[in-house]
Amino acid sequence: MQTAYSRYDIDKEIFGLAWPTISEQILIMMVGIVSTILVSRLGKEAMAGVGMVNILINFFQTIFAGLATGSTIVVARVVGESGVEKAKIALIQSMFMGVIVGIIFLVCGLASADFVLKIFFGASEPKVLSLALLYYKITLIGIPFVILDMVVGGALRGAGDTKTPMYVTVVVNIINAVMSVLLIFGFKFRHVLAIPALGVKGAAIAAMVARIFGGFIIIGILFRKKSKLHIEHEDKFSIDIKLIRRIIKIGIPSFMENLIMQGGMLIMQVLIVTLGTAEVAGYQIGNNIHQLSVMPVMGLATIANTTVGQNLGKSNYDMAEVYAYENNRLAIIVAIAAAVLEITFAVPLSKLYSSDYQVIKASVIVTIGFALIEPLLAIERVSASVMRCAGDIRYVIVTSIIALWTFRVAASFVLVKFFNIGLYGVMIGIFLDFCVRGFMYVMRMKDGRWKYLRV
């Protein structure tokens, strides 16, 4: 296959786009991680409650990432087809959709909060459930702003601007970290209590306020002339049905894929809750460590949407394939390095969160288990992004149904309930899931027909 660029040039471009996205993904995770670490000082019940809610919030964010994915892919395609000016119109349509979805979600979320938590986490201890409900209701208020932030950030990445979303996330994390310390533990000035210690409630308020600021900041940046997708005050904020359909064509299947995926994750969490509070807390810690280590892979997967999408928009099919395989190669290398670090530092990292022996033991099992599937996860994440921007989302959905629900959920349930091997059964199920998905994606990539689908 002949290419216009050397591997060095391609890798340089990929990493140039990827490092801000990787940093942004790590910082997004840090909002939940900072809360979990600080709240862990309040006891394992508080940590379990906040950890469970953060999994639920991540579930919602991942589902709504389908809308952001639609924005990224359509903007990347439009930039390749017609240039930045047309892409601005696609951005405005995404913003309309983000606002509507955010408002609907907030109203429905607050109305069903008690019901949702009892459905998923009703088997947890009463104190854990009570703290989780308090944290959940407050953090829900910030989710519409998260959706708006995700949609606009996705559009900017599609246009090739990966730095702006990162800068916004830096600000969000600074606000969250400072407010968390002040509100969770209180603050005294000259021996006078200026801010009372609010505990779990303080952590929730900090996360909510930080996310609201993030939404306002990224919208404000769009009106700056230096913005890649600069919006003028005189620009028409009108509905373009054709572009909305294109976004929905990608966004709805991505939403369905994420719903299937995260639905399976929630079922897994329900299964883990039955193992006990120490196991729940340990799983949250191990999952947090894993999520941080996998962020470089996630960044490379996100950039595949931009690099592959823009080349498909230009009908440059050979280069689209080159970028797809190179993103995969780099992701596997990064994943192996991350796995080595996870295994090496599993114990000391777990001790950052807790001093409870049972919690640390459970965390180490989960951390090492996730480390072993890192290379498989790299193939799955990058290849899935390639399929999405090519418009082959049905295949992504099929792989999720087959691998996650048949192998991860079903196998884990059998191993936990009938063989009584606890978290080991959960990690075996996860390993089987990624073995199957990795194989299915390798076969699909080799097939090559994905390059010629229309979006």
pLDDT digits (tens, 9 = 90+) for 327-341: 999 999 999 999 999
Would you state the structure tokens that stand for residue 312, as one six-digit string?
């498909």
The amino acid at residue 135 is Y
- Radius of gyration of the chain measured on its C-alpha atoms: 22
Q: Count of CB atoms within 10 A of residue 316's CB?
A: 16
What is the arithmetic mean of pLDDT over 206-218?
A: 92
Instruction: Give pLDDT tens digits for 108-130.
Output: 989 999 898 888 777 778 888 89
Instruction: Give pLDDT tens digits for 347-393.
Output: 999 998 888 899 999 999 999 999 999 999 999 999 998 998 888 88
User: Of residues 67 and 316, which shows the higher confidence score?
Assistant: 316
Burial of 375 (0-12, 13-18, 19+ CB in 10 A): buried
Q: Beta strand 187-189 with 192-195: parallel, antiparallel or unpaired?
A: antiparallel
Instruction: Give pLDDT tens digits for 75-108.
Output: 877 887 777 777 788 888 888 888 888 899 899 9
The answer on pLDDT for 209 being more than 80 is yes
Angle between helices 277-293 and 423-447 (to 10 degrees): 30
What DSSP assignment string belongs to 171-213? HHHHHHHHHHHHHHH-EEETTEEEE---THHHHHHHHHHHHHH
Helix (H) or strand (E) run with residue 311 in it: helix 295-313
The answer on pLDDT for 2 being more than 50 is no
Q: Which residues contact 339 (CB under 8 A, 6 or more apart)?
A: 293, 371, 372, 374, 375
Residue 1: pLDDT band (50, 70, 90) is very low
- pTM of this structure: 0.69
Burial of 104 (0-12, 13-18, 19+ CB in 10 A): exposed
Buried b (16+ CB within 10 A) or exposed e, 249-259: bbbebbbbbbb
The answer on pLDDT for 346 being more than 90 is yes
The answer on pLDDT for 228 being more than 80 is no
User: Of residues 29 and 128, which shows the higher confidence score?
Assistant: 128
Report how far apart, in Å, the C-alpha atoms of 325 and of each of 266, 288, 332 are: 32, 28, 11
The amino acid at residue 280 is V
pLDDT at residue 5 in the model: 65
